[in-house]
Homo-oligomer: A and B are copies of this chain.
Amino acid sequence: MPQNRKRSQIGAEGENRTRMTLRSADFESAVSTNSTTPAVRGASIKRPMNFCSSCGARVALRIPDGDHLERRVCTACGTVHYENPKLIAGCVPEHDGKILLCRRAIEPRRGYWTIPAGFMENEETLQQAAARECWEEALARVEIGGICAIVHVLHAHQVHVMFCASLAEPAYGVGVESLEVMLCAEADIPWPDIAFPSVAFALRRYLGDRAAGTQGLHFTTIDQRLARA
């Protein structure tokens, strides 16, 4: 049992505690948008929270009674506006030994390559979100398998959950968020042009597992808070 646990969820106590500072970009500048339109998504920037979304009065940073962290609290109605990490769902879609990659038509990292991934919506499962993103970005229907990687992107307040996947049929196209989509042999993966460190992590672990004949759930943490301070 411990053997199986270690193989299937690698890094829960080891790699999980490493800190990576591979690249400067991730999904963070799209943090306030789920839109599928490049113009809308690229134009969106996370706005500061100044007002209470319930009553419209000003908010102030305070530590609520009994809490230990500063929150945005309404100065009129007292509503505490908690902010929590957002989920990104994606997949590594394989067909005939090749991986489906999309070249981004939107910022951040326009022109760089990614696996299909994006913000999870309310009222869908992680698997449904991953499959939906693959359809939107690459017009490809996938069978979603096990989780390949979970990446904590601390500075962006995001958790990226990347699944193994296989194309249901060898059909794909260029979705509205993509400039280009390709089925790519391992040797041809454009590593210097991969858009996000979480994507590079998921791809490397997926391919490493494939080569080793295993399949694990790999954790890592990316923390660029110091770089941004």
- Interfacial residues, chain A to chain B (CB-CB below 8 A): 1-2, 4-5, 7-9, 12-13, 16, 32-40, 44, 47-56, 58-59, 64-69, 71, 79-87, 119-127, 143-147, 150, 152, 154-155, 157, 159, 163-164, 176, 209-210, 213-217, 219, 221, 225
Cβ distance A87 to chain B, nearest Cβ, rounded Å: 6
Whether A4 and B157, one on each chain, are in contact in the complex, defined by CB atoms closer than 8 angstroms, is no
Task: Work out how many copies of this chain go into the complex.
Answer: 2
- Tell me whether chain A's interface is mostly helix, strand or loop, or mixed: loop
Give bound CA distance, A37 to B52, whole Å: 22
Q: List 20 A-B contacts (CB under 8 A).
A: A4-B214, A5-B145, A8-B8, A12-B144, A12-B145, A12-B147, A33-B82, A40-B80, A47-B79, A50-B53, A51-B52, A51-B53, A52-B53, A84-B86, A84-B120, A84-B122, A85-B121, A123-B154, A124-B152, A126-B152
4 interchain residue pairs of minimum CB distance = A37-B66, A9-B146, A8-B8, A51-B56
Whether A121 and B13, one on each chain, are in contact in the complex, defined by CB atoms closer than 8 angstroms, is no
Give bound CA distance, A34 to B56, whole Å: 22
Give bound CA distance, A52 to B55, whole Å: 10
Q: Which of B59, B83, B86, B217 contacts A217 (CB 8 A)?
A: B217
Whether A35 and B125, one on each chain, are in contact in the complex, defined by CB atoms closer than 8 angstroms, is no
Chain B contacts for A58, CB-based, 8 A: 56
Whether B5 and A164, one on each chain, are in contact in the complex, defined by CB atoms closer than 8 angstroms, is yes
Whether B36 and A67, one on each chain, are in contact in the complex, defined by CB atoms closer than 8 angstroms, is yes
Chain B contacts for A145, CB-based, 8 A: 5, 9, 12-13
If A39-B66, A217-B146, A217-B147 touch, whether A123 touches B157 (CB-CB below 8 Å) is yes
Whether A67 and B215, one on each chain, are in contact in the complex, defined by CB atoms closer than 8 angstroms, is no
Whether B54 and A48, one on each chain, are in contact in the complex, defined by CB atoms closer than 8 angstroms, is yes
Whether B152 and A32, one on each chain, are in contact in the complex, defined by CB atoms closer than 8 angstroms, is no
Cβ distance A166 to chain B, nearest Cβ, rounded Å: 11
